[in-house]
Each structure stands twice: as structure tokens, then as C-alpha cells.
A and B are shown apart, each in its own frame.
Chain A
């Protein structure tokens, strides 16, 4: 058994290294005093100064924050409803509607929404279309987390509340919501992370107006690779890391399990 584990360690350590080395390289070069991401020259914070003086980038960050906050709020409300409904009422259609957008390649949702916004709604693509698109794929994630929480609970407490004369609204406000709150919060944080990171669906529903963070990064990568990209990447990594730790503390089981 011991020797077996040693072989596994020898095979697993390179995989862990493969997962982390690229991210470490990005962070290290964000402090490198050279335009080229090739060799270490010396320590600098120039790329961060440049970043904070880049008006377009700041505007993009602000827009992405607005989108992520709005979309995650919408998705949390609708996704919590969906999670509750799927758990309680043995629905046939809603689970398919909520979970299929997660399982399909993102490009399909992006393209069909692009057609829909332009043809049916005659909507000028921009912040509103991106918010709708992000909400659509985040609902399923919130529903999964909320449902997992409900599945781990004893349904008889809800029956007890009803037997004691609580209205459905009272039951929800006083019993259900406090109990599922960690899952709701974890779902909200996960939606926020998914929204602020999403590139593919944003790419198709963005239009030509306002700058958006992932699109801005994409353009920078395609045109010229400068360590400014490393700087924004490092900051985004810190943000996601903080959110994940927060979500994990809120609902230890919900993000990992089921």
C-alpha cells in the first residue's frame, strides 16, 4: 500500500505543478521590469501604475462589476425559486430548462441569444443583453446549490410550520429562507464569479458599445501581449480567490458536493 501511494504521488505532483506553474508565471511577470514576458529583469510596480491610469480598462472593470452584480442578483432570486420549486414539486420541465444551458457548449447559448436580441427584441446589444445572457446561465448553478441544501434537510420542519398555522409566506420567511441562506449566498457569489469571468457568451452578446473586462483582456492578448495583462490577471485572480474562500466558508458542502 505504501509503495502504491509513492507511485501515485510521483504521478500526481507533476499534474499539480502543471495546474499551478502557468498562474505563478503570470503573477511573477506582472512585477517584471521588462516589456517582454521572457526573462526576469527586475522588480517593478509599473504595470500596475499603467493599469490604474488606463481609463478604458477602468471603465471596463466598472461595467463588468455592474453586470456581475445585477446578473448575480437576478440569477439568485430566480435560481433560488427554481431550486425550491424543483425540490418541492417534482416538476418535469423546469429542471430541463434550468440545467441544459449549463451542459451545452457556451457558444450555442451565445449565438442563439445574439439572434434573439437582434431579431425579436430589436435590442441594441450592450449591458442589458449581457445581463440577461449571464442571468440565463447562472440560474441553473444557483438552483443546483439551493436544491443540494434542501435535499440535505428534513422536510418535516416545513410541515410542522404549516401544521402550526403558518402561511406559505411565513413558512418561507421564518423557516425556509434562514435555513437555505448559506446556499443562497454561495449561489450569489458563484454567479458573480461566473459572470465577471465569462468570455464566450459576453463576446456574442456585447455589441459594439461599452468596454467590458473580458473583451478588453481578449483584445489586449490578440493585439499585443504586455505585462499590463499580467497585472490585471493578478488582480482578478486575487478577487476570485477572495470570493471562493468566502463562498466556501458560507456553505462548505454546497460548492463541492452534488
Chain B
């Protein structure tokens, strides 16, 4: 018996300790950091009263404070950037949903022997390097590209001003949709695959047309898949910084860019930590909502 208990500890302790040290401790540290004062030259002000002699050099601030949180809520700019990030995440999720649904449905209704191949074809591009997938859109949306010329000649015919596709909110949306589309297709497909086709036949026999069959039979059953797919798209987009950084213009700043600037630009660690905690809270509430919706749907359909 003792030997079994020893085995249990030997197996579970190393990963637990590693993750406690490199995941939990850093997260707690981030919370503590958000309550501290920034140092005069970046980093942090001392936590306790500085030793004599050093006190005159520093800003004289030390200890813990709610200052960064007050600052966050006092400037409307930060609320606006959070709202904008939510808007981009929402738009990305909706576009992904509209694009993913027919693909997931097609795979689920194809012959069994083709399904794995069709799923693999969805996953394959997403396995290539993240930066490369964004870079590809820099080429396609670039001012000299065939696609840009095409769009602008159409606009010209219509008598409209030419547009710059790259470095715009449009380019950011294309990038976020492109990078996250598989995360929507896969859970949707996993859900749709389980549907019993007999239900659709029954609906047809009862005189339901195609739209009625979709909206009253397929769609309600697929909601758990819709919610988990939406969470898998929405959450990473909310914390995105590389896509707006590369494809967006100077005005297309999201929460992620703000956080990046605090740590690698202005070096205001406490405010960067506060922003990260706000992002964490936003993510947790979205994840909680999605789980709750999915659960209540599954519960009511049983």
C-alpha cells in the first residue's frame, strides 16, 4: 500500500511542482506587481522603505497601492480599447461562425471515409507558423498586389476613392479570422457529426422545408458546438497583439498591444500587470458565460 502511495507521489509531484513554480507563482506575482509603484527608470519601486542613502535617489514611493487601478478607470481611453478589443473579438467570432458552419456541416454529412481527410485539410494550414500565415496576408493585401489592384479598379469604376487594404482594421479582421477559423470548424464538426439524420427525415416528412429543418432541428442541436467554438475563437483574439501589430495601422491598438507596450516599451510593470489582470477577468467571464450557456442548453435538451 505504501509503495502505491509512493508511486502516486512520484508520478504526480514533478509536473505539479513544475507548474506551481512556473505557472502559479508567476501569475500570483503578476497580481502583486499590479499593486506596486513603477520604478523611476522602469521596473518597480521598492516594496519596503528603501535603505538610507538610496531613498533620496528614488521617487520616494514604496509599498502597495491601488494607483494603477485608479488610473485604469480614470482614463476613458482604456475602456475604449477594451471595448474595441471586444468588438474585434465579436466580429471575428461571428465571421468565423458563418464561414465554419457550412464546412463543418459538409464534413459531417460526407461519407465516413472522406471525413478524416477533410478535417486534416482544415487543420493543415493552421499547423504552419503563425507569423507566416499573417505574412501571407501582408503580400495579398499589399498596395502593389493583384488583389489590391483588382479591388481598386472596381472602386474606380464605381467612381469611389482607392483604398489601402493593408494596415487597416479590415486587414486585422482578415488576419484574426484566418488564424482562428479551424478552432471554430473543429468543435462544430464534432457536434454536427453526432446528430441523428433520422430527425431531419422526420422533419421533412412532417412538411418542414430546408430552412425550417435547419433552424428548428440542426441549429438548436448544434448550440453546444457553437458555444465551445466561439469561446476558442473569442478568447485568444481578445488577447491578440501580433496581428494588429503587423497587419493593423497605428490606430488599430488592442488590449494585447497596450500590455506589450507597458512591458517592452514604457516599462511600466505595475500598469502592464493591471491591464493583464483586467484581460484575465474578461477572459474568465467570457469562458464562464460560454460554459454556462452550453450547460444550460445540454440540460434543457435532455
Q: Which residues of A contact B (CB under 8 A)?
A: 4-5, 7-9, 11-12, 15-16, 18-23, 25-26, 29, 36-39, 77-79, 81-82, 84-85, 88-89, 91, 93-94, 97-98, 100-101, 103-109, 111-116, 118-120, 132-133, 135-136, 139, 143, 167-168, 193, 197-200, 203-204, 214, 217-218, 221-222, 225, 229, 233, 236-237, 240-241, 244, 248, 256
Contacts and interface: CB of A to CB of B under 8 A. Distances in A.
Contact of A12 (B7, B103, B120, B269): B103
Interface of B: 3-4, 7-8, 11-12, 14-16, 18-20, 22-27, 29-30, 33, 43-44, 99-100, 102-103, 105-106, 109, 116, 119-125, 127-140, 142, 144-146, 178, 181, 210, 235-236, 238-242, 246, 256, 259-260, 263-264, 269, 272-273, 276, 279-280, 283, 287
The 5 A-B pairs of least Cβ separation, nearest first, read: A105-B239, A22-B136, A11-B102, A85-B12, A116-B26
Given A8-B105, A22-B136, A197-B130, A106 B239 contact: yes
A97 to B, nearest CB: 4
Given A37-B142, A97-B19, A256 B240 contact: no
Contacts of A197: 128-130
Contact of A168 (B4, B22, B27, B136): B4
Given A105-B279, A115-B30, A217-B131, A16 B121 contact: yes
B8 A9 contact: no
Given A89-B8, A115-B26, A107 B256 contact: yes
Most buried by A among B26, B140, B235: B26
B44 A15 contact: no
A244 B116 CA distance: 14
Interface of B is mostly: helix
Most buried by A among B19, B100, B246, B280: B19
Given A119-B44, A233-B129, A93 B116 contact: no
22 contacts: A5-B106, A16-B122, A19-B125, A22-B140, A25-B140, A29-B139, A79-B15, A85-B12, A103-B235, A105-B240, A107-B260, A107-B279, A108-B27, A108-B283, A111-B263, A112-B26, A112-B30, A115-B29, A167-B3, A199-B131, A240-B127, A256-B123
Nearest to B197: A1
A79 B142 CA distance: 42
B109 A8 contact: yes
A19 B11 CA distance: 41
A23 B235 contact: no
Given A104-B280, A106-B236, A107-B239, A23 B103 contact: no
A200 B131 CA distance: 10
A218 B146 contact: no
A23 B8 contact: no
A203 B263 CA distance: 11
Nearest to B200: A1
Contact of A38 (B121, B127, B142, B242): B142
Most buried by A among B15, B139, B142: B15
A225 B15 CA distance: 42
Contact of B246 (A109, A221, A237): A221
Contacts of B100: 15
